[in-house]
Structure 1
């Protein structure tokens, strides 16, 4: 024993060096073999080799995709099969409704989404918490059979307590209730509301809360989806979390803005399929579609074709990215984008720039006041690239707007939870919806145009006038944009 102790005390620096080199080598090999993006592979291998101890730890926390493709594929395939047997025939004639240029986009969606495009959906745009939260609370209070709620952030504040009380009332009258909150988003308020929900008997779970058996969240792979599903036929989705800062009656004149959507029809069942898959992944409990999606009444008029698009770090990786590339490729007149976090990768930026160079009017609206300072710095560093190609960029003068909206040629819309940044497009679980309807596209376009009327244009002259040290700061922060 003394010999061993003496050996360890004498040679521990050498042992640490050997162990770190072995760990670094195995970690670098894992990164090289599993990263499909050559830039990500080079970056991780460089970090690991330059810092054989810290690098592997960072890669373990932020670089490994721990989602099992085979497991999720099996779950989703089963749910999709159940759903297809439950729903009506797919809708194909998008040319006469939205425009001939969208025919190929529908085909792209067929191959990416795995959800059919269905008519028979009634969709209502809800502006911020002032419209969305009362409608959601009313739906919860009217629920007679089942409620499924999923959110990235569910704050323990005044609006969060209203939702908790409504869910408690539903649970007490015998409604089946399931609540799924992201494990990182649950910690945005203290104490987390999950404890209150569980005390009320509401079946509440966290998404991706363990790391190697430890009670700590993953840095990536967040569930950013926002879903409320009621009684088999009514749903809500969009970009809005549950927090009082989006209610003007609670946050006052500083209230943030967002956009949410109330949906009835086949798309509501698609929302449930996404929720059920995430719930099964997080809890191992299977929610049978025949129990939760009973025969529902026909949706009110007008009815429009729509479908959900899931993106996530498994077999649906880059689904939204592919849809956006396809939409920009078919655009003929006007592209309108509103995004709180506009950090497109070079491929998506190339598609935007190519659209502008083809003569398409491309309007991009971003917040003048951003709730994430580092993201704002990185966005500013990147804007010159799209402005130089002819895209028009606008910084809104109002309160922070969290909306994620896109319209093409006033005929097709893309809405939901995805931001135009690497985290949303590759690392998070996101849920969006494509809508083939000129009326809805017109409403979304009008909302974006009203925002433009109250915005300041971002020009090359404006960007060049930024002091050099701030430009340097912005570029340095931009280097880390894939993980902001």
Structure 2
């Protein structure tokens, strides 16, 4: 009798505690989630499954990246290359909106109020097709480095291309150059050896962005670092869609069945400092190490106007979402999109539909076969919403096109 009473009391107490825990967790989702549908979904999970719902929410639902990024962001010293002109936090470059060509002013006005970086002039931008053009230029820049080499990539394959990059980075390190390499903790995991382990064996400083762990549980599929950045001496930068690996070779050295076409950009001029700043923020977040800011080495080398727009789970608002919406709304003749993964949020989809209705010609290029089949299926399921408004949608045959352009 006594044991039954104790068991009943314990069961009731545990049920009450778990119910309260579910309510508290649901309240946290209600307050912190920006997407109403996402918040509603987590609330249902936490309330209907009070025993396991809060645990699932703790593992997958809390954005620890944003909280940690906000905490570390202001530790980066900006005094070397910032003057407090206009809004605090803006890098002081000479370009004003009035200097821009008239047709670009509406887009610039939108991003000027949202982005942390200003438009800057005097940049030279060179388009590089596939690994055959991009990799030699990147390796040459590393070999010419005199101060620093910062590299971040989502995938770093340990193959012929990967080893060539490791060799170049090691040569730079032996010359006394500051070398830092950041790879995504999930992206580098494949059937071969880990790149970070090979890089570390060469005496280089390498870090992994949120590597998967069992204790404490850390496995965020949606909180990854997909940036591909190489910055040399703060004056030459490379960015685009290419990772490091043979997969981006499509010529005679290509791996049959794995060819992936893509583009990269080589950028010289003041914009390279903005790209360098993005790397420094990611490095600080991952390692808590504040990298030094070396004296400016760049010069005005071209005529392109550029601005870095950093976006991700560490941002308070979806900057890229807002800017794309504004750009689509200000289009005057046509909109051309090329992407391997076309699953736009409802707001972007509506903006595209509205643009077509007001006479804008919309063209979208997608790969004929996708490397993520369920994305391909989901995309085909929603394309009718644009096709019924007379959008032109094309499928590009193999090799797989990884290019993202708008």
Q: Is the 8 A contact 1:76 1:277 kept in 2?
A: no
Q: Report the equivalent of 2:60.
A: 62
For 2:183 and 2:45, the matched residues in 1 are separated by 32
Asked if residue 92 in structure 1 is aligned to residue 97 in structure 2, the reply is yes
**Matched-pair contact (CA < 8 Å) for 1:239–1:258:** yes
1:354 aligns with 2:354: yes
TM-score if structure 2 supplies the norm length? 0.90
Displacement of 1:16 in angstroms is 5.5
Q: Distance in 2 between matches of 1:244 and 1:6?
A: 68
Ranges in structure 2 where 5+ consecutive residues have no aligned partner: 84-90
CA contact (8 A) 2:336 2:364 kept: yes
1:254-283 Cα offsets, whole Å, 9 max, x none, are 511111110000111111111111111111
Q: 1:105, 1:232 → 2: CA distance?
A: 27
Structure having the larger proportion of residues in helix: 1
| 1:150 maps onto 2:148 in alignment | no
Using a 3 Å threshold, how does the CA distance of structure 1 residues 70 and 191 change in structure 2: closer, same or farther? Answer: closer
Equivalence for 2:193? 191
Q: Give the alignment partner of residue 113 of structure 2, picking from 108, 111, 114.
A: 111
Q: Deviations over 1:354-377 (max 9, x none)?
A: 111110001111111100011111
CA contact (8 A) 1:233 1:269 kept: yes
User: CA–CA distance in 1 between the matches of 2:3 and 2:189?
Assistant: 46
Q: What residue is the counterpart of 2:382 in the other structure?
A: 382
SS at match of 1:251: coil
Q: Label 1:115 to 1:333 Cα distance change in 2 as closer, same or farther (>3 A).
A: same
Per-residue CA deviations over 1:24-68 (Å, capped at 9, x if unaligned) read 222111111111221111111112223223332332222211135
Q: Which of 28, 32, 37 matches 1:30? A: 28
- Map of 1:329-344 to 2, 5 A cutoff? 329-344=329-344
Tell me, in whole angstroms, the C-alpha distance in 2 between the residues paired with 1:131 and 1:349. Answer: 34
> RMSD between aligned alpha carbons?
2.6
SS in 2 for 1:67: helix
| More divergent stretch after superposition (250-259 vs 164-173) | 250-259
**How many residues are treated as equivalent by the alignment?**
396
Number of the residue aligned with 1:259: 263
Q: SS of 2:261's equivalent? A: coil
2:229 to 222, 227, 230: 227
For residue 44 of structure 2, what is the aligned residue in structure 1?
Answer: 46
| Residue aligning to 1:126 | 128
Q: How does 1:323-334 map to 2 (within 5 A)?
A: 323-334=323-334
List aligned pairs for 1:389-408, cutoff 5 A. 389-406=389-406
In structure 1, the residue matched to 2:297 is: 296
Question: Structure 1 pair 135/59, CA: closer, same or farther in 2 (3 Å)?
Answer: same
Q: How does 1:460-479 map onto structure 2 within 5 Å?
A: none
- Can you list the C-alpha shifts for 1:388-440, whole angstroms capped at 9, x where unaligned? 2232221112321111101xxxxxxxxxxxxxxxxxxxxxxxxxxxxxxxxxx
Alpha-carbon offset, residue 253 of structure 1: 6.4
Q: Deviations over 1:194-236 (max 9, x none)?
A: 1111111111111123779627432332111111010121100
